[in-house]
Amino acid sequence: MAEPTSPGPTPPRPEPATSREITFSRGRLTFRAIDSGPVDGAVVVLLHGFPQRTSSWNAVIPHLHAAGFRTLVLDQRGYCSTARPSGRRAYRLSELVGDVLALLDSANLPAAHVVGHDWGAAVAWAVAAGHPDRVLSLTAVSVPHLAAFRQAMFLSDQLLRSWYIGLFQLPWLPERLLCSRGGLPDRALAGMGMTPEMIARYHGEMVADGAVPGGLGWYRALPLASPGKATARVRVPTTFVWSDHDPALGRGGAERTARFVDADYRFVEMSGASHWIPEERPEELAREIAARAGS
């Protein structure tokens, strides 16, 4: 009878991920970002969309940490309580891009893997297009390349899907609608696929904290946009993740995006998911981010 073998030494337990708050200034504004995960891991910058904040990535982050990545999550301009300038010019895309570059500089990072959802994806596309030397890879979620989105506005049903952008150009009325509890905003968010828990978080993080006007500033700056680096072709390895049940972003822009990427490109369609991919499919999304960042 064979003697039992020794199980061998117990492997060391991985140290729990630590969370560190970064604050940095750009002009008169002070920004906040959450730096977490293994300090020696490759860095993934996560950019949130509207009407959400850094917590929208909470379900994705543990999976990225488990894969060995360090994450930087930026509380963006207009959302962060110490970075809410007045006037729509302060929310031009060039300013939003500059905030991301300032985050990289504050963390002493020459470049990082950049991931964005919704408006965060628009910023991520613009960072990659205008500053490819600062982007190791790009994963854009929901929002297509900005030139593809522009084409889709005239060549598909995207204009009808984007009706709310016109509403958000009006003064004071959008704030009044979006800051009311119950009724229209809750029904609209539920219709977009938000759960009751997500809607409650919206009221706490956006309405109660006063972030709604700043978030609307991003939309109100759209008429000031000019073609240039933001719509240039992207030359970094890119994954675009889109969901077929997104009521705001149709297939037209999603399928045109490949035309504007001159690098390794992957299109991932998540069947049955709504607009809120980071909350609905966190493990699957993290897997796509890790595959892109690790390739």
Helix and strand tally (H, E) in the chain?
A: 13, 8
pLDDT value, residue 6 = 38
> How many whole angstroms separate alpha carbon 53 and alpha carbon 76?
8
In the sheet that 112-117 helps form, which strands lie side by side, from edge to edge? 19-26, 29-36, 70-75, 43-47, 112-117, 135-141, 238-243, 265-270
CB of 260 within 8 A of CB of 140?
Answer: no
Query: Amino acid identity of 28?
Result: R
CB of 74 within 8 A of CB of 97?
Answer: no
The domain spans of the chain are 19-294
> How many whole angstroms separate alpha carbon 139 and alpha carbon 288?
8
> How many whole angstroms separate alpha carbon 38 and alpha carbon 26?
27
Q: Comparing C-alpha atoms, which of 17, 23, 105 is closest to residue 64? A: 17
3-state SS assignment for residue 236: coil
Tens digit of each residue's pLDDT, the chain (295 residues): 343 333 444 333 334 457 899 999 999 999 999 999 999 999 999 999 999 999 999 999 999 999 999 999 999 999 999 999 999 999 999 999 999 999 999 999 999 999 999 999 999 999 999 999 999 999 999 999 999 999 999 999 999 999 999 999 999 999 999 998 777 889 999 999 999 999 999 999 999 999 999 999 999 999 998 766 678 999 999 999 999 999 999 999 999 999 999 999 999 999 999 999 999 999 999 999 999 999 7
pLDDT value, residue 10 = 39
CB of 159 within 8 A of CB of 153?
Answer: yes
Q: How does strand 70-75 pair with strand 29-36? A: antiparallel
For 86-193, where are the alpha helices, taking DSSP H only? Answer: 93-106, 119-130, 146-155, 158-161, 163-167, 173-178, 183-191
**Cβ neighbours of residue 280 under 8 Å, at least 6 residues apart?**
193, 243, 273, 274
pLDDT value, residue 166 = 96
Q: Note the residue count of the chain.
A: 295
Q: How does strand 238-243 pair with strand 135-141? A: parallel
List of E strands, the chain: 19-26, 29-36, 43-47, 70-75, 112-117, 135-141, 238-243, 265-270
**Cβ neighbours of residue 123 under 8 Å, at least 6 residues apart?**
47, 76, 93, 96, 97, 100, 116
The CATH number of 19-294, from 3.30.750.24, 3.30.390.30, 3.40.50.1820, 3.40.50.10680, is 3.40.50.1820
**Cβ neighbours of residue 12 under 8 Å, at least 6 residues apart?**
none
> How many whole angstroms separate alpha carbon 290 and alpha carbon 41?
12
CB atoms closer than 10 angstroms to residue 209: 13
User: In the chain, what are the helix, strand and coil shares in percent, each to the nearest 5?
Assistant: 45, 20, 35
Tokens for 268, please give them. 């991932």
Tokens for 173, please give them. 């009325």
